[in-house]
Amino acid sequence: MRAVMNNGGIQTVDVPEPSGDGVCLSVVSAGICGTDVSFVAAGVSGFVYGHEFAGIDDEGRGWFVEPTIYGGECEQCRLGHTQRCIEEGHGNLGMFSDGGMAERVRVPEYTLLPLPDGLDVRDACLIEPGAVAWHAVRRAQVRPGERLLVLGSGPIGLLAAAAAQAAGHDVDVAARYPHQQRAAEELNCGEPDGEYDVVIDAAGSDSSLRSAAEVACPGGRIVSTGVYQENAPIPGIVSLTKELTFVHSIAYGRHAGVREVAEVARMLATRPEIPATVITHRFPIDAAAEAFRVAADRTSGAIKVVIEPTDPR
């Protein structure tokens, strides 16, 4: 079967059919994440890429695959924070272990989420970044009447805005490129204006963290979704004088027994304009190298680029 790996650059290669325990799916959609692009640039290899994916079983039923691999027995798992699992073997599909950019996969049954009516399996790969964004909004603990700004209008930023709207909040979005601004407008987001009680930094750069501190009001909260390999460059004086609170957010889990990925799936099913706006490019699996090139080019007009290994029709 065909799969996407990094062999001195992204290539579509032949690999053995998946075997072993678990449920076998034909993959219909697999999103390219910024982490995937960073892995390629760093030369990370040795596994099939893709941690944002959905597919169909042998009966044609659609499923999303929550890529978090966890044990379920440690304290963090019992509390619902499966993304913080510390047990042996924990990790993520598509990150140092084979993921979903392949024609077929075999995954643990507990990772599966049935798709709600109204959500096309071709769009369901968006659940994964949507859950990252949803979790960040939950971590923000926005209170009624507070002003909320999302910095960055890539997939995580736009999905964070949608998640905030689903929670009943108005939200403004700071966009860098015209196509991102148009997407924010299509999702009924406002433009930046003044100071904010809560800032979600979905850009994850040194400059965005500084900007977040600058536009936060005194006593404000900043939620960071960025991955900093060493130290997060929190600006000192402005953060100190404003007494800002910085909150980190990673991946997603459960709360009160509810999977955050399930909440996102329902949001996407009821608001089809979200995937229609966020997913801008689709490629067949044999064009994976071009798909990654487009995803890495911030001036290409791309927001979310999706690889479609198989056709469900």
Q: What CATH number has the domain bearing residue 234?
A: 3.40.50.720
Answer with the one of 203, 225, 248 that is the final residue of a domain: 248
184 shares a domain with 234: yes
The CATH code of the domain that includes 41 is 3.90.180.10
Q: What is the dihedral of CA 93, 98, 103, 109, to 10 degrees?
A: -50
Burial of 58 (C-beta count, 10 Å sphere; 0-12/13-18/19+): exposed
User: How confident is the prediction along the chain (313 residues), in pLDDT tens digits per residue?
Assistant: 999 999 999 999 999 999 889 999 999 999 999 999 999 999 999 999 999 999 999 999 999 999 999 999 999 999 999 999 999 999 999 999 999 999 999 999 999 999 999 999 999 999 999 999 999 999 999 999 999 999 999 999 999 999 999 999 999 999 999 999 999 999 999 999 999 999 999 998 889 999 999 999 999 999 999 887 777 788 889 999 999 999 999 999 999 889 999 999 999 999 999 999 999 999 999 999 999 999 999 888 999 999 999 987 7
Same domain, yes or no, for 240 and 265?
no
Number of domains present in the structure of the chain: 2
Those residues with Cβ within 8 angstroms of residue 264's Cβ, 6 or more apart along the chain or in another chain: 127, 130, 131, 133, 134, 159, 163
Query: Is 10 within a domain?
Result: yes
Residue 313 lies in a domain: no
Beta strands in the chain (DSSP E): 2-6, 10-14, 23-31, 52-56, 62-65, 68-69, 91-92, 104-107, 112-114, 148-151, 172-174, 196-201, 216-224, 245-248, 254-255, 258-259, 279-284, 304-308
DSSP 156: H
Distances in whole angstroms, Cα of residue 2 to Cα of each of 13, 16, 43, 199, 287: 6, 9, 21, 42, 11
> At which of 200, 225, 248 does a domain end?
248
Per DSSP, the three-state class of 129 is: helix
Is the domain of 119 the same as that of 266?
Answer: yes
CA of residue 203 relative to chain centroid, distance: 12
Structural domain including 92 reads 2-128+253-308
Q: Please give the backbone phi and psi of residue 265, each rounded to the nearest 5 degrees, phi first.
A: -60, -40
Closest CA to 99 of 109, 91, 88, 89: 91
Instruction: For residue 60, tell me if it sits in a domain.
Output: yes
Query: Does one domain contain both 30 and 168?
Result: no
Tell me which H or E stretch contains 238.
Answer: helix 236-242
Q: Are residues 217 and 170 in the same domain?
A: yes
- The token pair at 122 is 């071709």
Q: What is the DSSP letter of 33?
A: P
Structural domain includes residue 44: yes
Its pTM stands at: 0.96
